[in-house]
Structure 1
Amino acid sequence: MSELVMQTPTPEVRVLTMARSARRNALSRSLISELCHAIQQAETDGIRALVVAGEGPSFSAGADFSGLEGDGSDQDYDDEMSRLTGALEESPLISVAAVQGACIGAGLDLALACDFRVAASDAVFALPAVKMGILYNPQRLAQILPKFSHAAAMRLLLLADKLDQTEALAAGVATHPAQSGQALTMATDLASRAARLPPLAQRTSKAFVKAFHRPDFAAEDWQARRTELLTSDERRTALRLARKPKT
């Protein structure tokens, strides 16, 4: 039985809903695999933006402990999660996490892999690896820690603190606030707005932001890509539309 529900509310937006509410949408290996496949399928289908949501009152409680052994073999789970987060981060699609309730551990990792995170007023964010006697996947930490403040990182990692909506917004963990029960609606609206923008410029801009934080960043390469955009059909169309009188 599928653990993921896929809906396409508009031709360019797809909603992926984790359907394990009885387990608070804990990320099983099979759910991770379904999410990876769904991302690839969305790209093939010409989708422009993805919304990732959880069924029921929680976004995701994190890793499904029933699939972990408590020894070194759990490294495989880290690898599977890294494939999922990498698929979202490297995808040309714009991705939005619709977070309500618990967004914990691997669930937070999944949300942070999305380009935007809409947090409902009841959203709670935590990364409680220290409670489980481990350090969260160091390779992922190196990628996600720059996304939010040092103070938030210390609270999440050293104290296993929980951040509410207000704290998450201030720390950069969340990007948009929503009222209780409205995270999915706002996330879908945000995805629809993103999907209306010129695709080539959007994909290039997303790739630029990711490349900027890498040690091999080369500004001249991106200047060349900008020059290509200046002479593209997409840019000419956008300029023509911008010149039309506003009514």
Structure 2
Amino acid sequence: MNVLPLAQRSSEPPGAEQILKTLRTRRQGPLLTVELNVPEEGNAVTDAMLDDLLTVLDHQDPEVRVLVLAAAGDDFCLGGDRDEFAEHLAHDPSGSGVRASGIRARRVCDALTANPAVTVARVQGRAIGAGLALALACDLRVGADTATFRLPELALGLPTAWGGLLPRLISEAGAARVRDIILTGRVVDAAEAGTLSILQRVVPEDSLDAAVADLVRPVLRRPGPALRVTKTLLNSFTAATRLADASVLDPEIMTAVLTEQRRVRPAT
């Protein structure tokens, strides 16, 4: 898989790779690949992963034109680490840890969306909850025909309030369809994800890397200044159709729900 490092200097050799605690990156000229790299945990999103992602995104070389967000193992991402949420609440029942985690999540997803480079999600296996949010924060999404998507938060007693997921999903898939997906918690397969624009391209799993390369190749040839301005314009027009985006309150909403549930139903 083609993957990229934080901010590569010109002195670094092509294909230079860097391994962080939860990520692996590789830089190849104007292409940066960032791979979620905790496959034994289903690439579950933790505070450590959010911190690693922020480190990469905050120090990204301005010469990068395309960033591919990929994942090691069978699944793209199985969502947020609920054990870590429970630890946050056990440490501070007021929810300060949950709130801080939610703020990190929002910063990561916003950094992907507002990234000066074109961001591409490469999705295989399951993308659940926070995993779907990370993919939706990218400009383009390519998925294997075996990929599936699910938002089980409601069944877990959680609001759909992580990283600005809800307005992005409504913008891409439409409000009526999103109600169905969230309220039922059902699995969305790759074919349906394609019709909902959750995925823009669906390919056989063994063709996933080739499909990403085909998508990325022409984008890498575009002049950098025009590419950055065009992406900014696309983001601006998309944001204008949302009228209001209450997802800035996601950390507060998640904190309020979790702390209230803990108060009503104390952990045993």
Is the TM-score greater than 0.5? yes
Q: What's the CA shift for 1:151?
A: 3.7
Pick from 178, 182, 189 the counterpart of residue 153 of structure 1: 178
Within the alignment, does 1:33 sit opposite 2:51 as a pair?
A: yes
Given that 1:25 and 1:54 are in contact with CA atoms closer than 8 Å, whether structure 2 keeps it comes out as yes
Indicate the SS of the match to 1:47: coil
- Render the CA deviation track for 1:74-122: whole Å, top value 9, x for unaligned: 2322211100000011111001000000011001000000001101011
Which runs of 5 or more structure 1 residues have no equivalent in the other structure? 218-247
Percent identity of the aligned residues?
26
Aligned length: 215
Output the amino acid matched with 2:46: S
Write the distance in 2 (CA, Å) between the matches of 1:138 and 1:53.
20
State the 4+ residue runs in structure 1 displaced beyond 4 angstroms.
none
Question: Residue 103 of structure 1 aligns with which residue?
Answer: 127
Q: What's the CA shift for 1:208?
A: 1.1
Write the distance in 1 (CA, Å) between the matches of 2:163 and 2:24.
29
From the superposition, tell whether residues 196 and 215 of structure 1 become closer, same or farther in structure 2 (CA, over 3 Å).
Answer: closer
Aligned-residue RMSD, C-alpha: 2.1
Given that 2:108 and 2:163 are in contact with CA atoms closer than 8 Å, whether structure 1 keeps it comes out as no
Which runs of 5 or more structure 2 residues have no equivalent in the other structure? 1-19, 243-268
Write the distance in 2 (CA, Å) between the matches of 1:37 and 1:102.
25
Pick from 67, 72, 82 the counterpart of residue 84 of structure 2: 67
Output the amino acid matched with 1:92: P
Q: What's the CA shift for 1:139?
A: 7.3
Given that 1:130 and 1:158 are in contact with CA atoms closer than 8 Å, whether structure 2 keeps it comes out as yes
Given that 1:49 and 1:192 are in contact with CA atoms closer than 8 Å, whether structure 2 keeps it comes out as no
Within the alignment, does 1:5 sit opposite 2:30 as a pair?
A: no
Indicate the SS of the match to 1:166: helix
Write the distance in 1 (CA, Å) between the matches of 2:162 and 2:72.
29
- Render the CA deviation track for 1:186-236: whole Å, top value 9, x for unaligned: 22332232111122222111111111134599xxxxxxxxxxxxxxxxxxx
Within the alignment, does 1:49 sit opposite 2:74 as a pair?
A: no
Write the distance in 2 (CA, Å) between the matches of 1:107 and 1:155.
19
Question: Residue 90 of structure 1 aligns with which residue?
Answer: 114
Q: What's the CA shift for 1:183?
A: 2.3
* Greater Cα offset, 61-70 or 180-189: 180-189
Question: Residue 34 of structure 2 aligns with which residue?
Answer: 16
Indicate the SS of the match to 1:156: helix
From the superposition, tell whether residues 91 and 159 of structure 1 become closer, same or farther in structure 2 (CA, over 3 Å).
Answer: same
- Render the CA deviation track for 1:103-146: whole Å, top value 9, x for unaligned: 11001000000001101011001111111112111771234321
From the superposition, tell whether residues 186 and 39 of structure 1 become closer, same or farther in structure 2 (CA, over 3 Å).
Answer: farther
Given that 2:44 and 2:81 are in contact with CA atoms closer than 8 Å, whether structure 1 keeps it comes out as yes
